[in-house]
Structure 1
């Protein structure tokens, strides 16, 4: 269900809440660029792009601080209740997860600073494939946040199961490679951490989907089965 925010928020400070929500979307767009740039850096073995990912991180951190201050100011000034308060809480939690996604993207980008042998390229290709799935998940959850669409958020929420499967399969593949070539372990460990970072980004996207559902339906669905979540929509 797509939610009409203008009907959901009291008119007095609708504009303030819309502004802060738009700032969240700008931050989300920057984090999405950061992740895509990190994946491009790996695919193209481009150290310059990897460094740009790190350089962007300070902007993401600054946006989190700014938006957090806006949320604090709204709570102090307006003392929002009910759905208004739910939106402010959802925003505050979302920016915390977005900031952490930016941190994970920075870690992923650092892989591009390493050089890999030809027989290690298959591992990189699989990492990129998983990365593209996670990137789509991030894009879709930001879209659900923009629309405050609980149904779309739920579809993103379900995607995390696939990401977890990819994580397990790729981790096994990398561990097998290291056992066959122990000399590769120091370098390949960077790949392990990157795969772990992608899995964590999937978890963060799932969190944001939960915040959207929380705002729209007023229900905290953490630790709730997929079947029960769907019944509540």
Structure 2
């Protein structure tokens, strides 16, 4: 039996590693989206090695027209797992007194509104699955349980998408769908930095295993990449 996963922001970092991980199992068809597929060298190389199992499509999660084009392109498709991975961290180092509010609005548009735009647009494709899994890559930086300073835009945008997806989980409680948010770990990516604790491969492998094991009982949970519960 073949299943289909769609991953946003799939041209680098955790998104790219998730594409690689899903392609390791023959049962998966992968739809990888990114803003500029023509420049996604690593993705195109993967597509050459798995031409029948990897489909690369353009998507700008902040652009309603781009999202609509994706919706039209995938009309009639069944998506079993949607991974809202696309995100930005555009206020690293910004502190109170020097906040860039344009950056803050952009962070909300990408990190909070983006996953909701995509999920809503692809809802019909998800309804065709026996148990659709709607996954959003969030961050522990959006957890209200953690005391921290700075990065107002990134932290608040991740807290916002956590709440939005938790609300969606409540709305979909009576449907064959699971909505879950994930802290992917502190990962050695452009966003996480070279001093981070785990590699993108370790994060993607843990996410893959945990997502595969999600059941209806996990609806609405905020989890770590290794399956542990993350405090809200």
Which range, TM-score by smaller chain? 0.3 to 0.5
Task: Give the structure with the higher percent helix.
Answer: 1
Q: TM-score of the superposition, structure 2-length normalised?
A: 0.33
Q: TM-score of the superposition, structure 1-length normalised?
A: 0.33
User: Looking at CA atoms only, which structure, 1 or 2, has the larger radius of gyration?
Assistant: 1
Larger RCO, structures 1/2 (Cα 8 Å, 6+ apart): 1
